[in-house]
Copies of this chain bind each other. A is one copy, B any other.
Amino acid sequence: MDSSPGSPVIPVILSGGAGTRLWPLSREQAPKPFMPLPDGDTLLAKTAVRALALPGVRELVTVTNRDYYFATRDVYAGLADAQPAATAFLLEPFGRNTAAAVALAALHVAARHGGDAVLLILPADHLIRDQAAFASAVRRAVALARAGALATFGIGPALPETGFGYIECGDRIADARAHEPPAFVASRFVEKPPLARAREYLAAGNYVWNSGMFCFTADAILDAFARHAPALNAAVLPVWERLAANGAAAVHEIDAALFAAVPDISLDYAVMERAAPAGEVAVVRGSFDWSDVGSWQAVSDLTEPDLDGNRGRGERVTIATSGTYVHSEGRVVATVGVENLVIIDTADAVLVAHRDHLQRVKEVVGELKARGHEAYRLHKTVARPWGAYTVLQENPGFKIKRIEVKTGASLSLQLHHRRSEHWIVVSGTARVTRDDDVFLIGANESTYIPVETRHRLENPGSEPLVMIEVQCGDYLGEDDIVRFDDVYGRAPA
Q: Are B352 and A338 in contact (CB under 8 A)?
A: yes
The stretch of A89-97, A212-220, A225-233, A422-430 in contact with B is A422-430
Contact of A334 among B315, B352, B400, B472 (CB under 8 A): B352
Contact of A337 among B333, B356, B368, B444 (CB under 8 A): B356
Is A202's CB within 8 Å of the partner chain B? no
Q: Which residues of B contact A427 (CB under 8 A)?
A: 397-398
Per the bound structure, the CA–CA distance linking A348 and B356 in Å amounts to 28
Q: Are A472 and B448 in contact (CB under 8 A)?
A: no
In angstroms, how far is the closest chain B Cβ from the Cβ of A395? 8
Q: Are A426 and B334 in contact (CB under 8 A)?
A: no
Known: A319-B363, A424-B470. A358 touches B336 (CB 8 A): yes
Is A33's CB within 8 Å of the partner chain B? no
Least CB separation from A324: chain B residue: B352
Q: Are A320 and B360 in contact (CB under 8 A)?
A: yes
Q: Which residues of B contact A392 (CB under 8 A)?
A: 392-393, 400
Contact of A468 among B334, B341, B348, B398 (CB under 8 A): B398
- Encode contact with B along A435-457: 1 for CB under 8 Å, 0 otherwise: 00000000110101000000000
- Encode contact with B along A314-343: 1 for CB under 8 Å, 0 otherwise: 010101100000001011111111100101
In angstroms, how far is the closest chain B Cβ from the Cβ of A414? 19
Least CB separation from A468: chain B residue: B470
Instruction: Sort chain A's interface into a size bin.
Output: 35 or more
Is A378's CB within 8 Å of the partner chain B? no
Per the bound structure, the CA–CA distance linking A272 and B16 in Å amounts to 72
Q: Are A352 and B357 in contact (CB under 8 A)?
A: no
Contact of A352 among B343, B347, B422 (CB under 8 A): B343
Contact of A336 among B334, B345, B357 (CB under 8 A): B357
In angstroms, how far is the closest chain B Cβ from the Cβ of A375? 5
Is A361's CB within 8 Å of the partner chain B? yes
Known: A335-B353, A352-B334, A470-B426. A367 touches B444 (CB 8 A): no
Known: A354-B337, A360-B320. A443 touches B472 (CB 8 A): yes
Q: Which residues of B contact A75 (CB under 8 A)?
A: none
Per the bound structure, the CA–CA distance linking A443 and B152 in Å amounts to 64
Q: Are A349 and B331 in contact (CB under 8 A)?
A: yes
Contact of A350 among B319, B334, B358, B424 (CB under 8 A): B334
Per the bound structure, the CA–CA distance linking A427 and B317 in Å amounts to 39
Q: Are B337 and A357 in contact (CB under 8 A)?
A: yes
Q: Which residues of B contact A315 (CB under 8 A)?
A: 373
Least CB separation from A444: chain B residue: B472
Is A123's CB within 8 Å of the partner chain B? no
In angstroms, how far is the closest chain B Cβ from the Cβ of A162? 17
Per the bound structure, the CA–CA distance linking A341 and B338 in Å amounts to 8
Per the bound structure, the CA–CA distance linking A357 and B320 in Å amounts to 9
In angstroms, how far is the closest chain B Cβ from the Cβ of A316? 10
Per the bound structure, the CA–CA distance linking A419 and B364 in Å amounts to 44
Known: A400-B400, A426-B470, A448-B446. A354 touches B338 (CB 8 A): yes
Q: Which residues of B contact A336 (CB under 8 A)?
A: 351-354, 357-358, 360-361, 363-364
Is A140's CB within 8 Å of the partner chain B? no
Least CB separation from A399: chain B residue: B426
In angstroms, how far is the closest chain B Cβ from the Cβ of A311? 15
Per the bound structure, the CA–CA distance linking A108 and B24 in Å amounts to 57
Least CB separation from A422: chain B residue: B424
Give A residues with C-beta under 8 Å from B. Answer: 23-24, 315, 317, 319-320, 328, 330-338, 341, 343, 345-354, 356-358, 360-361, 363-364, 367-368, 373, 375, 392-393, 395, 397-398, 400, 402, 420, 422, 424, 426-427, 443-444, 446, 448, 466, 468, 470, 472
What are 25 A-B residue pairs whose CB atoms fall within 8 Å in the complex?
Answer: A319-B357, A319-B360, A320-B360, A328-B350, A330-B348, A331-B346, A332-B368, A332-B373, A333-B350, A333-B352, A334-B367, A336-B364, A337-B353, A337-B357, A337-B358, A345-B350, A392-B400, A395-B426, A395-B466, A397-B426, A397-B427, A397-B443, A398-B466, A443-B472, A444-B472
